[in-house]
Amino acid sequence: MSVLVLNGPNLGRLGTREPSIYGHTTYADLLELCEKTGRECGVEVEVRQTDHEGEMVGWLHEAADRGCRVVLNAAAWTHYSVAVRDAASQLEQPWLEVHLSNVHRREEFRHRSLLSDVATGVVAGLGVRGYVLALRWLAEA
């Protein structure tokens, strides 16, 4: 089984961007954590990050074409990108929307997700542990 872990804008700055909200774990640490979890679950995991919306759309198309399961942290695109939503809605395998912070305890504009109604499930507010839970769930689904 193959799982793509796709991360949107600003997630490459983990550890330095607003650590009071997003924690002190770096993106390199997150990459290592996801790969380690994949090995423990017997799942091939590939982690990617982009600040470019079109690249994310292309990765979601790739996941749909390959039949991959997906962990998606679309970051800011969660709240306004119809393009990312439309690409994610083409995924036929189970996929999870993940957020490091509890978006419902933050600014009003973050309370609305364009992805949640097409996602298999949503994990929010558990920091990087949310990725571990998402990967473990996808490995068993």
Can 27 be counted among the known catalytic residues?
no
Question: Would the annotation count 110 as a binding residue?
Answer: yes
Contacts of 65 (CB under 8 A, 6+ apart): none
Among 50-59, 83-92, 102-111, the range scoring the smallest mean pLDDT is 102-111
Can 111 be counted among the known catalytic residues?
no
Question: Would the annotation count 101 as a binding residue?
Answer: yes
Q: Which of 141, 123, 132, 118 is nearest to 29 (CA)?
A: 132
CATH number of the structural domain spanning residue 63: 3.40.50.9100
Among 59-63, 65-69, 107-111, the range scoring the smallest mean pLDDT is 107-111
Percent of the chain past pLDDT 90, that is, above it, reads: 79
How many structural domains does the chain have?
1
Q: What is the pLDDT of residue 25?
A: 87
The one catalytic residue among 24, 52, 61, 99? 99
The pTM for the full model equals 0.92
Distances, alpha carbon 57 to alpha carbons 42, 84, 98, in Å: 27, 6, 17
The SS3 call for residue 122 is strand
pLDDT confidence tier of residue 102, bands split at 50, 70 and 90: confident
The per-residue pLDDT for range 12-57, each reduced to its tens digit, is: 998 887 767 667 789 999 999 999 999 999 999 999 999 999 999 9
Residue 97 near residue 115, CB atoms below 8 Å:
yes
Domain that holds residue 35: 2-140
Question: Would the annotation count 100 as a binding residue?
Answer: yes
